[in-house]
Chain A
């Protein structure tokens, strides 16, 4: 059993190493000649090989070895990296990933691909037979490197405070003192930004410093010292651990300078700065102890210490914390019900309890949060494969890949994203010659971005292709009898036809996309996560798909409302404003449709109770309270509810785990009194109001049973 768990650990590590590999490879493209990145790639391949050797995964070892040997040539600068080699590295990286998966699942991989790749890789190697020997040597060396021997390294720190740093009462000298405690420190002040005496503003920050610290401490420790001034200064920490590399330090000046605000950029990049910089390495070098091994350059950003925990344990903890929140709400409610004479202490303690419970919850949820980076990196492979298969040139740009999202979201987004990316390359981008004719860059760009915005996670897939061909989409939808032939649709409505089941615009079924499983699958997957997908497209400019997901899957801020005689919850994020309408603002249109005039425009009113089948429109005429929501398909709509009671954070409980999805209801939650309240989904609710038939499939199924 223990053997298996070590094996599992190896494959988990492989995942990380493969991520590092992909990241390194794209880094090599951006910054060719950066040896640190080449080293990182080499190390990743090498570590996979080492681990695979221990488990007797010969095939993996063999391929990794060939890969690594070529990489080593690049590392030794015997081989220059050009575009074709870079492409080969990418493919080799992809195949290495396949091999790892195959080894894990004990499945098979394509022999031809392997033989082809090995041949291509070997073509870059001159004749030579010592590689096998080298392999064993390298393995031993690696072990030696990992021994917990503190190595003294030199950190070059560029520190430039902003005015806010001083305004907040920080003192650079104290920071330097703390740094000096860690090891040998030398400081150079950069006076280049110092203005004329006449123009001098004493409260402004004009000084910056270059510090050089030789220490055995990790970079994390350094960051801890600057923790409180983060955001108040520009800080850059560069690591070197051998005197020989010190000479290259001035070359690093470019990247070091980049974060500085533009107005000081040119000053800093001037001669003064360079002189200051050139000075410090020498000093650092002279301080260096002889213990550091030349040539054993370490990773610039040492990995943060992490802990591997069984996911089940985390989930149990999350569940329990959810219970804690509910329990806290119950206790508050019970105490309120007691109607005690105002006891200030009790209220304070309760409030503190509430805050603590929230803190715990947030902390626990943060455990599950992961950056989208690995997910995005996987997509770069999809872009490569898709562009190879379609003969279109495409590159992927990612933005905001450090955005953190719940682990479940990452796992469940992989398939929809893959599909969307393939679509973007296959349907979105034009053929190179068409692009050229349109005056565009021959290489199409697929942009994948992630961001947190107002309590939601936005993930966008956009291409710079031709945009949606709306005529064609509508025609297709009519052909497939998805809509009536004489239907008149607005542009967004036509775009949304793409999400209908069974819709596929590619006239030819290609290898990549267009197998009948279309965007509806994407939409369902996203809806299952409580999110939505929307499209925007500009002819000739491209198409953007936006996935909006809730930040956490477990809690949400909501209004506690009453609908007919039931208590329900509606997500605050979806509500633009609440209105207590005056009777004269409400107008009846036709026989039973109502609108409210709101700042000069008319907004349709949807009665929630009526749509959920809870009332018979008895509320009509009775103004109630209106919640103004904006939806993607139906624009502004006012939802009528009987009243709003409270605003609180609620724990989301799935209805689907034990029952089934109910239209208009996204989930349930447990209120302070232990009762269940339904969480409404405004978008679906409004859609429901526009569907004349309320009979659902489940009802029909039930009818059959009863009459059967």
Chain B
């Protein structure tokens, strides 16, 4: 469970890193409510491919998104290490299916770089920034953007 975080002194942030669609992403630990094993969900009609369905989280109905598909990286292959990251954005709670969770990353605020000016606006909006860890680069997911584009307003 991810509830043990403690905000350390001087702008030290903790992130949980995970991989989706072969790329490395992360979310700030305070946004994450819990991490669950993947269990089959109830599919919703008239929804895009990356909305897998809804799941029962202790009596609440929460939507589960396939993060990889959401970012246009193809559907997540079914895998034993697949997990659902339950995250809170404002008053809504959503679940994100990812390939696997890797580690907890503790970085200073200064280590988070702004997203470079890449071609696609949409992609840029969906990522808040980047953190380099050794050889690899971790993308900080912008949950608001995930929600915004996903919800639309179905009439």
Contacts of B152 in A (CB 8 A): 660, 696-702
The smallest beta-carbon distance between B44 and chain A, in angstroms, is: 6
Given A658-B93, A675-B56, are A702 and B48 neighbors across the interface (CB < 8 Å)?
A: yes
Q: Which of A319, A658, A675, A677 contacts B94 (CB 8 A)?
A: A658
A326 at the B interface (CB under 8 A): yes
Q: Which of A326, A566, A654 contacts B43 (CB 8 A)?
A: A566
Mark the stretch among B4-12, B106-114, B116-124, B128-136 that contacts chain A: B116-124
Could you give, for residues 49-71 of chain B, a 1 whenever the CB lies within 8 Å of some chain A CB and a 0 otherwise? Answer: 01101111011111100000010
A702 vs B46: C-alpha distance when bound (angstroms) = 12
Q: How many A-B residue pairs have CB under 8 A?
A: 119
Contacts of B1 in A (CB 8 A): none
The smallest beta-carbon distance between A568 and chain B, in angstroms, is: 9
Mark the stretch among A229-237, A277-285, A662-670 that contacts chain B: A662-670
Contacts of B70 in A (CB 8 A): 705
CB atoms of A662 and B56 under 8 A apart: no
Contacts of B154 in A (CB 8 A): 660-663, 696-698
The residue of chain A having its C-beta at the shortest distance from the C-beta of B126 within the complex is A705
CB atoms of B61 and A676 under 8 A apart: yes
CB atoms of A697 and B155 under 8 A apart: yes
B23 at the A interface (CB under 8 A): no
Contacts of B55 in A (CB 8 A): 676
Q: Which of B122, B149, B151, B155 contacts A659 (CB 8 A)?
A: B151
Q: Which of B43, B46, B123 contacts A708 (CB 8 A)?
A: B123
CB atoms of B155 and A662 under 8 A apart: no
Main secondary structure of the interface of B (DSSP, over half): mixed
CB atoms of A664 and B45 under 8 A apart: yes
A674 vs B59: C-alpha distance when bound (angstroms) = 9
CB atoms of B61 and A613 under 8 A apart: no
B150 at the A interface (CB under 8 A): yes
The residue of chain A having its C-beta at the shortest distance from the C-beta of B70 within the complex is A705
A660 vs B85: C-alpha distance when bound (angstroms) = 20
Given A696-B154, A705-B149, are A658 and B62 neighbors across the interface (CB < 8 Å)?
A: yes
Given A659-B151, A697-B152, are A670 and B59 neighbors across the interface (CB < 8 Å)?
A: yes
Q: Which of B46, B61, B94 contacts A653 (CB 8 A)?
A: B61
Contacts of B48 in A (CB 8 A): 698-699, 702-703
Q: Beyond A670-B56, A698-B152: 20 further Cβ-contacts under 8 Å?
A: A613-B45, A614-B43, A653-B61, A655-B61, A659-B92, A660-B151, A660-B152, A662-B47, A662-B154, A668-B42, A675-B42, A675-B56, A676-B54, A676-B56, A696-B46, A696-B155, A697-B152, A697-B155, A698-B151, A701-B149
Closest 8 pairs between A and B when the two form their complex, measured CB to CB: A698-B152, A612-B45, A708-B122, A701-B152, A702-B48, A659-B63, A676-B42, A653-B61
User: Would you mind naming 20 contact pairs between A and B with Cβ atoms under 8 Å apart?
Assistant: A319-B59, A614-B45, A655-B61, A657-B60, A658-B92, A658-B94, A660-B153, A662-B45, A662-B47, A663-B154, A670-B56, A670-B59, A676-B42, A677-B42, A701-B149, A702-B48, A703-B48, A704-B149, A705-B72, A708-B122
